Amino acid sequence: MKYRIVYLLVFMFCNSLWAQNCSLEFSGKVEDFHKSQPLEDAVVFIKELNRYTTTDKKGLFKIKNLCKGDFTIEVSHISCNTKTIKVSITKDLYKNIFLEHHIEVLEEIKINTLNSSNSTKQVSAIKKDVIDSYAGGNLGDALKEVSGISSINTGHAIVKPIINGLHSSRISILVNGVRLQDQDWGIEHAPSVDLSSANDITVYKGANALEFSGDAIGGIVVINPKKAIKKDTLLGKTSLSFQSNARAFNGITSLEKYTKKGWFVNGTASYKKFGDANTPDYNLTNTGVNATAFTLNSGFKKFEYGFEAFYSYLDNEIGILSASHLGNRADLVNAINAPRPSIINDFSYKIDNPRQAVTHQIVKFLGYKRFKDLGKLQFQYNYQNNHRLEFDKRVGSDKYKAATDLTLQTHTLKADFKFDSNTEKVYKVGVSAQYQNNFANPDTGIRRIIPDYDKYDIGLFGITTYKFENFVLDAGIRYDYNHYNAKKFYQKTRWVSSGYDANFSHFITREVGSQYLTNPKFTYHNISFSAGINYMLNDYNSLLFNYGLSNRSPNPSELFSDGLHHSAARIETGDLNLTKETSNRFGTTYKYSKNKWNLNLEGYVNFIKDFIFIAPNGIETTIRGDFPVFSYQKTDAVLYGIDAAIAYSISNQFNFQNKSSFIIGTDTKKNAPLIDIPPLQISNTVAYSNKKFNNFYASLESVFMGKQTRFPDFNFTTTLPSGQNILVDVSTPPSAYHLLNFKSGASFAFNNTNFHINFSVGNLLNTRYRDYLNRLRYFADELGRNFKLQLILKY
């Protein structure tokens, strides 16, 4: 009986199988997402059935004899990202499937300094391994890896990049697509950037990258984190660095989580602590640094759409050399003329006044959507909060009260559309709107050097790129609207002596004792334009030509400064009569790459009308003591120069590199040199590497910095309390100098973990020197020998 029941069940089961409909058909067409063109030989694979087919010339496919069910379909094609879709087949099914066929073209291109043929801009890139070697350092020093970039310093910890002779608000810095807004106008205001989260840095010389900025007359620095990858993986890295000079420590750790579906999250945290640095002969008292930073980035990314949320936090405390802040005129003059600082104490990690304390926060939200046969739409909102405290040497109950307390808040909305369905002809248009508020806390008990103000900006741009067989053309245009609305007190005597009573009396809202309360309002309309061509002469030679027109509105410091800049230990005065700068820059580049040689020669000339600069013009006595006075002025200027980068492979293991730059800056109205122009720089490096021996490398770098022989004369005579007249030399540059730097390292693999060790020595010969572009050169020498050990663990 039981066997009959079994036979009956088997018969019923088989009959149900025979009755199931297994004659269904899955068909469709595979097309290019951009152009809707059919893709031939695309593979359509059904994972559950291990069955596949390929598309014909029309992109069509067909799979027959399918049963009802849910299936996972993988569609792949050469040079495409594989696409996975879920289908439920209950009847014959036809489906259009779109693949991104130009993924190799559209993904971010890592620019090779010597061999890029896709850009008409003078552009260079710094890779991740080079950035890592500057762990614990700063952006200004890292950017010196690019020829034509130097820095202007306030001591060793406050470093601002100079691109082809221009710095501060003439350079735009973007962090993960957010233009940095951090009161960057002063020489002694270092960019609020932490290098630990940077994956690559791209430098554009000149204002040709109009989608980022229209007023970056000097150039643009783009700092990007690591791009999300579509792979199920968890990565981590920890780096520890130790330096002998300043007895410094730096720690960095990061974690990254990615999924194949497109979800990602990553974060980085860093901490550094520096004590007093030292020259070859003495300690630099009160030059320590404490810094904490972290970033968090998360989102979802697919080719068709995605979103991202980003947050970064940076907290910097920086000591200012004690010997640069003095109480009376005699001490100041003696300090400038003395060979050693007037204050030299034993080493300490303590940071006392004068000092800076700066926190900077960035919040960013981004979303994008791609449209078939059209392109990519992207929206972005970001918020920045920059809080700057500057502490002077004060006594009594005010000792720990900030002398300057500024809070800068910035809201920015951006939207752009990139028409890239035809990769040979790409167009991009965009719009941005920004509101910025600066609040100068009045409770410092000291006259505010920067007033309260609101700033409104609107930008519109359009750019296009045409790619042909042997050359690339691009052009762009941008319009920027800037409006300032400030509130500021002026001493009546200063108002009259500056001539403001004749031109700006309508700004006065009321009189308050010996002061005017004013409401300055300024509106600027700026047009920027760029055009360029990159022509490939053959496989080894190319020529690049570009032109950029840009306008830069005066910044708040240039317009409104009026008082003692405490961390800079000088009085600064702005000028309401300043007008916008207009730059006409012409650039040309020759590139050669063949066999063992790589050559990159860049030439440029930049004509700047109404060029704004700050220069010394005497000493003034205040209740805080005697301080040099620096005033903002304007003139017409021309800057021209050449940057060279040469690489030669001596053998498979030895190579040679040269980086050189030379620039001349001239005040064309006075036919005199411009102030703060970098002198001749030449860097030669011989390097050895052996991949078979644990990726060992070693290099010796020779750096020559010439003496600046072209400089303006701003020397002045002052009278000491004794009645003696004395010449104060604030103009004559220091002598040329030569440095040797050594670097080496190796890596070791243990299972899934990689261990890297790097060792370097800066200023190997312990050379005594002063740098023309260091504001504290009047008071002290530069740093002496510095041993650095870095340990990196990747897991």
Q: What is the pLDDT of residues 149-160, one digit of tens each?
A: 999 888 888 889
Nearest to 403 by CA among 519, 545, 564: 564
Say yes or no to pLDDT of 106 above 60.
Answer: no
Sheet holding 83-89, edge to edge: 51-54, 43-46, 69-76, 83-89
**Res 628: pLDDT:** 75
d(CA 224, CA 222) in angstroms, rounded, equals 6
Residue 677's pLDDT band (cuts 50, 70, 90): very high
**Res 115: pLDDT:** 40
Q: What is the pLDDT of residues 709-745, one digit of tens each?
A: 999 988 877 777 777 888 878 889 999 999 999 999 9
d(CA 207, CA 211) in angstroms, rounded, equals 10
What is the residue-averaged pLDDT of the chain? 88
Contact 31, 37 (CB under 8 A): yes
d(CA 7, CA 560) in angstroms, rounded, equals 99
Say yes or no to pLDDT of 484 above 90.
Answer: yes
Cα distances (angstroms) measured from residue 775 to each of 146, 188, 390, 513:
23, 8, 17, 37
Residue 65, CB half-sphere, CA atoms under 13 Å: how many? 3
Residue 13's pLDDT band (cuts 50, 70, 90): very low
Q: What is the pLDDT of residues 740-767, one digit of tens each?
A: 999 999 999 888 789 999 999 999 999 9
Q: Comparing 117-126, 303-312, 323-332, 474-483, which segment has the lowest mean pLDDT?
A: 323-332
Q: How many CB atoms lie within 10 A of CB 595?
A: 8
Is cis: bond before 341, omega within 30 of 0?
A: no
Determine whether 722 is exposed, middle or buried from the number of CB atoms within 10 Å of its CB (0-12, 13-18, 19+). Answer: exposed
**Res 117: pLDDT:** 55
Contact 222, 212 (CB under 8 A): yes
**Res 102: pLDDT:** 52
> Whole-angstrom distance between the N-terminal and C-terminal Cα of the chain?
65
**Res 34: pLDDT:** 67
Residue 111's pLDDT band (cuts 50, 70, 90): very low
**Res 555: pLDDT:** 93
Say yes or no to pLDDT of 326 above 60.
Answer: yes
Choose between 742 and 76: higher pLDDT.
742
d(CA 523, CA 56) in angstroms, rounded, equals 61
Say yes or no to pLDDT of 79 above 80.
Answer: no
d(CA 566, CA 764) in angstroms, rounded, equals 35
DSSP code for 283: B
Q: Comparing 77-81, 313-317, 402-406, 772-776, which segment has the lowest mean pLDDT?
A: 77-81
Say yes or no to pLDDT of 140 above 90.
Answer: no
Tokens representing 725 are 């007249």
d(CA 51, CA 285) in angstroms, rounded, equals 75
Residue 6's pLDDT band (cuts 50, 70, 90): very low
**Res 651: pLDDT:** 93
Say yes or no to pLDDT of 109 above 70.
Answer: no
Instruction: Indicate yes or no: pTM above 0.85.
Output: yes
Residue 621's pLDDT band (cuts 50, 70, 90): low
**Res 16: pLDDT:** 44
The per-residue DSSP string of 151-178 comes to EEEETTTEEEEEETTEEGGGEEEEETTE
d(CA 251, CA 237) in angstroms, rounded, equals 11
Say yes or no to pLDDT of 107 above 70.
Answer: no
d(CA 516, CA 509) in angstroms, rounded, equals 8
Across residues 532-541, what is the average pLDDT? 92
Tokens representing 176 are 């993960």
Q: Comparing 56-65, 269-278, 362-371, 733-742, which segment has the lowest mean pLDDT?
A: 56-65
Say yes or no to pLDDT of 26 above 80.
Answer: yes
Q: What is the pLDDT of residues 282-304, one digit of tens each?
A: 999 999 999 999 999 999 998 88
Nearest to 184 by CA among 173, 175, 198, 196: 173
Contact 644, 659 (CB under 8 A): yes
Q: What is the pLDDT of residues 214-247, one digit of tens each?
A: 899 999 999 998 888 878 899 999 999 999 999 9
**Res 407: pLDDT:** 96
Nearest to 430 by CA among 726, 214, 670, 597: 214
**Res 490: pLDDT:** 92
CA angle 323/326/331 to nearest 5° reads: 95
Choose between 127 and 348: higher pLDDT.
348
Contact 545, 587 (CB under 8 A): yes
Q: Comparing 362-366, 556-560, 714-718, 734-738, which segment has the lowest mean pLDDT?
A: 714-718
Q: How would you classify the pairing of strands 233-243 and 219-224? A: unpaired
The continuous run of DSSP H or E covering 721 comes out as: none
d(CA 326, CA 409) in angstroms, rounded, equals 33
Contact 754, 774 (CB under 8 A): no
Choose between 403 and 648: higher pLDDT.
648
Nearest to 679 by CA among 62, 13, 118, 152: 152
DSSP code for 566: G
The continuous run of DSSP H or E covering 30 comes out as: strand 24-32
